[in-house]
Amino acid sequence: MTNDILTQLTQVLQTGDATAVSDLTKLAIDQSIGTKIILDDGLIAGMNIVGERFKKHEIFLPDLLFSAKAFYAGLEHLKPLLLKEKIASPGKVVIGTVQGDQHDIGKNLVGIMLEGAGFEVVDLGKDVSPEQFVDAAVETNADVIGMSALLTTTMPVMKKVIDLATERKIKDQFKYIVGGAPLSDKFAKEIGADAYCFDTVSAVECVKGFVKGK
Amino acid sequence: MATITERLSKNEILLADGAMGTQLFARGLEAGACPELWNTENPEALSDIARTYADAGADIVFTNTFGGSSIRLGHYNLSKRTSELNRAGVKTARAAISDDIFIAASIGPSGGMLEPLGELSEDELRISFTEQISAVIEAGADMIAIETMTDISEATIAVQAARQLSPSIPISATMTFDKTVNGFFTIMGVSVKQAVDELSNAGADILGSNCGNGIELMIEIAKEFKSVTDLPLLIQANAGLPETEDGKLVYRETPAMLAAGAGRLIENSVSIIGGCCGTTPAHISAMRQKIDHLK
């Protein structure tokens, strides 16, 4: 029975049916399946499949966004329980598109997939200054700072964020991941970032690796 | 003087120009600044770019109005200047080059998403494109080039807005595709066939693809278009996909590679060939030579 509900949950999540995901999550809670199990084996498992299928171009952006909305509809019911039961997220990530850059589709997708993997995400939006990144990471006690850029001309802002943290002597409090079409491994290394993430799936893998090592 | 439509109907191959962004940055546009603002603040730079591409042999020069829809200008609090900036975009290009070169008004995506995924309504989007396109038509654009689209609803609304404003102006509509195991699709899930059906139905005269791919995949995309439409095709490849080198962006496809690719696009019945990201006047010049050589 437990497995049935969770399997169904992963399935309706893939269809992007927010009402069904909401209802099934409530049902699962009523049946005392366990908050963490519903989250991990229902919602997160479903988003994992969605992320993989998007990566393989089997589904497209609208499908992924509808699934994300459905995911949040389910998560809403779990959030108070996660707090009450003191179930901590595996980590917190501050994300944003860097200053001067208005392109946020990639950054939004990374945010969705990180939340879909159970992480707490603080999304600073687009056109985010180095000060905003560092201040937010300090204030929220984040584990990772994730920066996105689509323009070659805004990529240097990523270095400024890391430099600012260095200047304030707090660089090592955080890990730094960067992503966006014009970036590369080499660029990430040059600016002192911990990882370049080629796509949403690799961003999630990176963050998982960092928090595990903590 | 023969119009674009007349020249295409005589099976002429027309050459469009190359990338705009890199040319603007090379002339000092600051990162994060609104590119369209230069249409009034630095018209000399825009004239110079138009002239450079015309000198390289382009038959069609694109305007610096890609982000000129009122919604997109709104990112910079410039919505109120939509008409002015778009008119200036056409006029600076027009004044810089000879009359036998066509001006295509670039119309890019709004940057927002339609409901229910995003917050834009179809009416807002229609109003935004109508304001932009009426300005470029009024300023004397020879063609409306709706480009880099990924959402079929948004592209359709742009085409309809243009067609509503002018029954006769040539309208091209190009989308950006990714290769998947099932053929080419935009990130929003639009197939080549769906693009052809809906955009031709909305009133586009010229279809095709720009951005997102180097020349090899663009040849495959052109073939897929050709299998489902007889309308003239427009293809603008990137000079490959960007790679970084010492923190700088490089595009590795050379003018010679794009010129060779242009030959193969022509073999596959593409009528208008040009370049997107990473292409330079040198690429356009090499394609010019290829086209002339094939005549």
B178 touches chain A (CB under 8 A): yes
Q: ipTM of this model?
A: 0.86
Instruction: List all residues of chain B from 135 to 154 with a beta carbon under 8 Å from chain A.
Output: 150
Q: Which domains does chain B have, with CATH numbers?
A: 4-294 (3.20.20.330)
- From chain A, the residues in CB contact with B77 under 8 A are none
Task: Report the gap between the CA of B201 and the closest CA in chain A (Å).
Answer: 23
**Residues contacting residue A118 through CB under 8 Å, at least 6 positions apart:** A39, A40, A44, A89, A90
Tell me if B70 sits within 8 A of B131, measured CB to CB: yes
Element (H, E) at A159: helix A156-167
> What average pLDDT does this structure show over B50-67?
98
Q: Choose among B31, B75, B181: nearest Cβ to A57.
A: B181
B186 touches chain A (CB under 8 A): yes
Tell me if A210 sits within 8 A of A91, measured CB to CB: yes
User: Which residue from A67, A70, A89, A69 is spatially nearest to A79, judged by alpha carbons?
Assistant: A89
pLDDT tens per residue across span A67-122: 999 999 999 999 999 999 999 899 999 999 999 888 888 899 999 999 999 999 99
* B188–A154 CB contact, under 8 Å: no
pLDDT tens per residue across span A83-97: 999 998 999 999 999
Q: Which tokens is A93 given?
A: 């990530």
Tell me if A22 sits within 8 A of A77, measured CB to CB: yes
- What's the pLDDT band for A179 if we cut at 50, 70, 90? very high
B187 touches chain A (CB under 8 A): yes
Q: Which tokens is A72 given?
A: 């949040």
B32 touches chain A (CB under 8 A): yes
**Residues contacting residue B168 through CB under 8 Å, at least 6 positions apart:** none
The mean-pLDDT minimum among A22-31, A99-108, A173-182, B38-47 falls in A99-108
Chain A's closest residue to B179, CA to CA, is A57
* A151–B31 CB contact, under 8 Å: yes
Q: What's the per-residue H, E or C state across A165-186?
A: HHHCCCHHHCEEEEECCCCCHH
pLDDT for position A214: 62
> What average pLDDT does this structure show over B240-250?
74
Chain B's closest residue to A62, CA to CA, is B188
Q: Is A1 helix (H, G, I), strand (E, B) or coil?
A: coil
Q: Which domains does chain A have, with CATH numbers?
A: 2-84 (1.10.1240.10), 92-212 (3.40.50.280)
| pTM of the predicted structure, to 2 decimals | 0.90
